[in-house]
Amino acid sequence: MGGQGLPTWRYERALWRSGAVRVAGVDEVGRGPLAGPVYAGAVVLPTSRLRWLSRLRDSKELEAPAREELAREIRRSADFGIGGVSNHVIDQIGIVRATRLAMRIAVSQLSGPPDALIVDGREVVAGWMRQQAVVDADALCKSVAAASIVAKVERDAVMCALDARFPGYGLAQNKGYYTAGHREALARLGYSTVHRLTFAPVRAALRGRPSVNDVLEEMITSSP
């Protein structure tokens, strides 16, 4: 959660002093929604005195135009990677493993391997021995705040595109999260192929509605 003051270089500086040169912040977005992919960002920030660095915040504390502007600056001036894992894979391996997979993909997309990672929350990026998990790092650490921004802007764009393909669920507005409107749409329209079928609210909203398999079985058994 945010609201803990401005993100600083505290965690990066500690790692720099210990010998790490390239320190990447890592954060995820989209862990909780009922629809769409989970995304992660990894960012190694420049150490030069660029003005936009002072405007970095947890992505949740920024309005969309400010996030998008900062995402452009990060893409222009920093080393960044983005990883996404689809709702189908989330259903297959679970959201925890899918989140860690998205983080690993994001780190692999950097131009070169980092010396250390600062990871938001309590997550562990498999395969990276030197990493520090920091609760609320997106509000406390500049590089993690930057990672949260590029990941959210990327995922928001994906959800807007999915809204055009799957109208009626309000995905451009709710980004797949569990809102009253989304719940009502699930009850009225049923699920789509972008929904996470293993998430309890989706199962609850669809209870009593025939599944695709049920419909196909009925068609087959009732055919002459």
Q: Does 137 map to a domain?
A: yes
- Angle (CA) 106-110-116 rounded to 5° is 85
Q: How far apart are CA 109 and CA 80, in angstroms?
A: 7
Q: Does 94 map to a domain?
A: yes
Which H helix or E strand runs over 40?
Answer: strand 38-44
Contact 34, 184 (CB under 8 A): no
Q: Which domain holds residue 108?
A: 10-158
Q: Does 208 map to a domain?
A: no
pLDDT band per the 50, 70, 90 thresholds, residue 4: low
pLDDT band per the 50, 70, 90 thresholds, residue 3: very low
Q: Does 177 map to a domain?
A: no
CATH number of the domain that residue 76 is part of:
3.30.420.10
Domains contained in the chain, number: 1
Q: Whole-model pTM? A: 0.88
The two structure tokens encoding residue 195: 């929904």
Q: Does 179 map to a domain?
A: no
For residue 187, CA distances in Å to 71, 214, 219 come to 36, 17, 23
Q: Does 201 map to a domain?
A: no
Q: Which pLDDT value is given to residue 209?
A: 56
Residue 2 scores a pLDDT above 60: no
Q: Any idea of the CA torsion for 150, 156, 159, 164, to the nearest 10 degrees?
A: -120
